[in-house]
Amino acid sequence: MEFLDPELQAYCDAHTNEEPQVLKELDRDTNVNVLMPRMLSGHFQGRFLSLFTQILNPKRILEIGTFTGYSGIAMAEGLREDGELVTVDINEELSDMVREYAEKAGVADRITIRTGPALEVIPTLDGTFDLIFIDADKSNYGNYYEAVIERLNPGGIILADNVLWSGKVLEKNRKKLDKDTAAVLEFNRKVQEDPRVDNILLPLRDGLMMARKK
């Protein structure tokens, strides 16, 4: 997932704000006690999400893919005082952990946890959103995009994580085209060709697609 020279990445980390103590604890807890901890956003991307959200200052955020709550807590730092972050995940087993750390971070009252398949949950949500963060199963990225684009306010932002897929978007970095890589390639093509948005693919961590609704 890391494409930058390790020493350059360390330099970037050293010149990025420290993560709050509660997120350091969540990072450590996730790495010790949860399977596939590499799914965690982590310090560098977490600070990007926090700062970007503080700049955007959204009233409502939708997150598809909660995991242990790191990215959601980071984004909640930039919500308006009366704002809400709705986070959706299929894994109910991690909900207690998410609530625990949201409480510790002082943002539990701003975070609504919804459990179930996102494509079933999204149609039941009320209202529209200013920021949507997609970080779930890659096979459904295109479906998630279509499900949320009409729920995004004009000028709102969609962020989608892992769109470089450990470099496998390039043919030279893969032995064969697996279904997840194919889904990421199709998603990137879809956004690039969508006249409803302006977009940029950022080589941040494992790739972050940013699309602004016109």
Domains in the chain: boundaries: 6-213
Task: Return the pLDDT at 2.
Answer: 65
CATH superfamily of 6-213: Vaccinia Virus protein VP39 (3.40.50.150)
Tell me which DSSP letter residue 37 carries.
G
Rounded to whole angstroms, the Cα distance separating 48 from 203 reads 13
The C-alpha angle 99, 95, 75, rounded to 5 degrees, equals 60
Q: Which residues contact 36 (CB under 8 A, 6 or more apart)?
A: none
Beta pairing, strands 152-161 & 60-64: unpaired
Contacts of 130 (CB under 8 A, 6+ apart): 56, 58, 59, 60, 61, 152, 153, 156, 157
Per-residue pLDDT of the chain (214 residues; tens, 9 = 90+): 666 788 998 999 999 999 999 999 999 999 999 999 888 999 999 999 999 999 999 999 999 999 999 999 999 999 999 999 999 999 999 999 999 999 999 999 999 999 999 999 999 999 999 999 999 999 999 999 999 999 999 999 999 999 999 999 999 999 999 999 999 999 999 999 999 999 999 999 899 999 999 9
Helix ranges (DSSP H) in 15-155: 21-33, 42-56, 70-76, 95-105, 118-121, 141-148
Prediction pTM value: 0.96
Determine the pLDDT at residue 1. 60
The predicted-structure confidence for 72-125, as pLDDT tens digits, reads as follows: 999 999 999 999 999 999 999 999 999 999 999 999 999 999 999 999 999 999
Model pLDDT, residue 137 = 96
